[in-house]
Amino acid sequence: MHQPLLDDAKEDTDNAEYAGFKEDAADMKNVQLKDQCRQCGNKLCSISTLRKKLPCIKWIPKYGLRELQCDAIAGFTVGLTVIPQGLAYSKLAGLPPQYGLYSAFMGSFIYCFLGTSKDITLGPTAIMSLMTATFATSPIPQDPTYAIILSLVCGVVQLVMGTLNLGILVNFISYPVINAFTSAAAVTISFGQVKNILGLKNIPREFGPMVYETFAHIGETRIWDTIMGLCSLVILFLLKKLRTIDWKDEPGAEIKLSQKIARKVLWLIGTGANAVIVIAAAGIVAVLHSQNITGHLSLTGHLKEGLPPFKVPSFSVTNGTETYTAGDIFSGIGMGFFIVPVLGLVETIAIGKAFARRNNYVIDASQELIAIGAANIIGSFVSSYPVTGSFSRTAVNAQSGVRTPANGIFTGAIILLALAVLTPLFYYIPNAALGAVIISAVVQMVDFAIVKSLWKTNKMDLVPHLFTFVTSLAIGIEYGILIGIGVSLLILLYPVARPPLKTLVRPGILLVQPHQGMLFPAAEYISESIVHKATKGGRPRSVVLDFQHIVKIDYSAVQSLKQLFAEMKRKGQCVVLVHVQPQVMFDLHQAEIPFLIIRSTVDEACEDILAQADGHEMILPQDISDEEHPALA
């Protein structure tokens, strides 16, 4: 409903003529808003709205064989990446490994129809998995009920936010905060995998205790796990290098077909490095097992074969004697219902914008919310936990030459195939190899270079960045990002709450001109400061309040004006408003403020105050103001 309205308002305001533009933008906007309201009815069911809400109708008509070929290759390549990542991330989320695959295919299918970026690929991500473990850990070990409900509600919240055009929310999370958050998440997640590499057990999830316990238990390191983990890690980094080799061809030199094929194969190995490592590790283990050499490595183990059932998510779970009801689940997840949807949005938008810029298209944050929301809702029917856009797989997708979002169909198909036939083979995958997959995926998210850059360009931005990073590690990344957002908004809003007040003292009169809109963060401060100044130093003075820069007042401002007038009245002085703009005038009259006096100029106000001080009665305000301000007529 909101969407066309807000979008158009933006459009029209922008087109305002540079030269003829007046100060009262708010007033102007008002007129435009009314204009759009009239057009709203037609707009809602227009073709452009449909194209916006169902972006696939843009590319489906133009879809050809070339697109199919490119999308198929990209889709398969992403599929090869998501299978090992899905198995690894589901462990991070505290769930059995098949849930990572359950979470991977529905997002791919849905995004294909609702998404606005050809590059983004939805599915389980490291941060969403960590958030699932943080907010939706069931009291019953390995039970997915909480995670599935989180996915459902998270989807509903995102869908509602998208429909209300709340994609704008991402603009209020500044880049230094997002950057610190992803760095902290990457540090937490990577260090969390050290236990898998070393084969340690019973390590807690919070960063502080995790580091402590990991070092405390270092003596229990299992040598085979460590060898497997470190080898996987090193080979993984080397293989990924293959993808980005610069062959340094002489300009104009001819490249042989065999060379071309060899390069393509190396690139494919680099891109499918995760799959290569996992298959190789599992193969080695399988061979050892066939030789009856077992028990040295901790393995993925048995996982449920076949596709997940399509069913309405269960709202309660029973563990023998104890039953956890919907109420328990909802109060258990708590703040997760707010934080997870927003983090999902932030992750997708951060990734989407990066690739949209590179490939020269624009993504629509609100439509992305609708796409992720739908994916999470429908995903919850196939036992998915919350998904969002994955950085590493989106990069793979883009590099594989994807043309349209249709690639998601191929990615989804590969995952379904794997679930249907490959699950018995997953038994042999060592946890240490999966740990290496996670570390190599998240370690690129760590970015300390920004600190230097912030120090150089804007030191004030370092404050929210460092706050976010330190609190994320100290008390958890879910709190860190909230604190970071709070700190950056506080820095942004400080001038709004404590606007400069220009003052000038004349005999018996104090002139005050607030600099900005008189809105709730500043309302009390302004009226208290005025009383303080007017009564400072002996005999109180009357106040002339210049409303020249005030284009908007809210309820709090009205209340504090009332208090200001009443308090000055008690002290035997009056307050006179001057230069009141029409809209503000209207609001003030609506509020029926006692003792309200309005004059048009400062001089007029001063004359009246001095006349009153000489014993004359001041003319009641309402008598003249209506005539002076035709806007009220």
Q: How far is the CB of 219 from a second copy (least distance, A)?
A: 22
Cα–Cα distance for residue pair 266/531, rounded to 1 Å = 76
The pair phi, psi for residue 173, each rounded to 5°, is -105, 110
Question: Binding of a second copy at residue 590 (CB under 8 A)?
Answer: yes
Supply 302's token pair: 């048995």
Three-state DSSP at 199 gives coil
Residues 145, 317 contacting (CB under 8 angstroms): yes
Distance, in Å, from the CA atom of 384 to the CA atom of 154, rounded to the nearest integer, reads 12
The residues with which 481 forms a beta bridge, in sequence order, are: none
Binding-site member from 492, 611, 619, 620 for a second copy (CB under 8 A): 492
Q: Residues 347 to 406: which contact a second copy by CB under 8 A?
A: 353, 357, 362
Nearer to a second copy, 286 or 501 (CB): 501
- Residue 21 or 310 with smaller CB distance to a second copy: 21
- Report the distance separating Cα 485 and Cα 447, nearest Å: 19
Q: Give least dist CB 124 to a second copy, A.
A: 23
5 near a second copy, rule: CB under 8 A: no
Nearest residue (CB) to a second copy, 212 versus 215: 212
Residues 161-180 that bind a second copy (CB under 8 A): 168-169, 171-172, 174-176
Site for a second copy in 400-439 (CB under 8 A): none
One-letter amino acid of 8: D
For residue 468, the Cα-to-chain-centroid distance in whole angstroms is 14
Q: How far is the CB of 16 from a second copy (least distance, A)?
A: 6
CB 139 within 8 A of CB 424: no
The DSSP symbol for 46 reads S
Quote the least distance from Cβ 180 to a second copy, whole Å. Answer: 12
| Helix runs in 313-418, H state only | 326-333, 336-358, 365-380, 391-399, 407-417
Site for a second copy in 504-563 (CB under 8 A): 504, 511-513, 515, 519-522, 524-525, 528-529, 533, 553-556, 558-559, 563
Binding to a second copy (CB under 8 A) within 91-130 occurs at none
CB 108 within 8 A of CB 411: yes
Binding residues for a second copy restricted to 298-337, rule: CB under 8 A: 327, 331, 334-335
- Whether residue 389 contacts residue 82, with contact meaning beta carbons closer than 8 Å, is answered with no
Q: Sketch the per residue contact string, 16 through 45, with a second copy: x for CB under 8 A, - otherwise.
A: xxxx-x---xx-xx----------------
Q: How far is the CB of 76 from a second copy (least distance, A)?
A: 32
Residue 84 and residue 528: Cα distance in Å, rounded? Answer: 62
Residue numbers 443-472 binding a second copy by CB under 8 A: 453-454, 456-458, 460-461
Per CB under 8 A, the list member of 73, 76, 226, 567 interacting with a second copy is 567
283 or 500, CB closer to a second copy?
A: 500
Stretch that binds a second copy, among 190-198, 270-278, 390-398, 499-507 (CB under 8 A): 499-507
Tell which positions 198-257 bind a second copy, by CB under 8 A: 204, 206, 209
Q: Are 90 and 129 in contact (CB under 8 A)?
A: yes
Residue 54 CB, shortest distance to a second copy, in Å, is 22
Q: Which is nearer to a second copy, 142 or 590 (CB)?
A: 590
To the nearest 10°, the Cα dihedral for 177, 180, 183, 186? -60
Taking the complex as a whole, the smallest distance from the CB of residue 49 to a second copy amounts, in Å, to 19
- CA-based radius of gyration for the chain: 31
Stretch that binds a second copy, among 53-61, 224-232, 374-382, 488-496 (CB under 8 A): 488-496
Asked whether the beta carbons of 83 and 123 are under 8 A apart, the reply is no
Which class for 291: exposed (0-12), middle (13-18), buried (19 or more C-beta within 10 A)?
Answer: exposed
Number of residues binding to a second copy, judged by CB under 8 A: 79
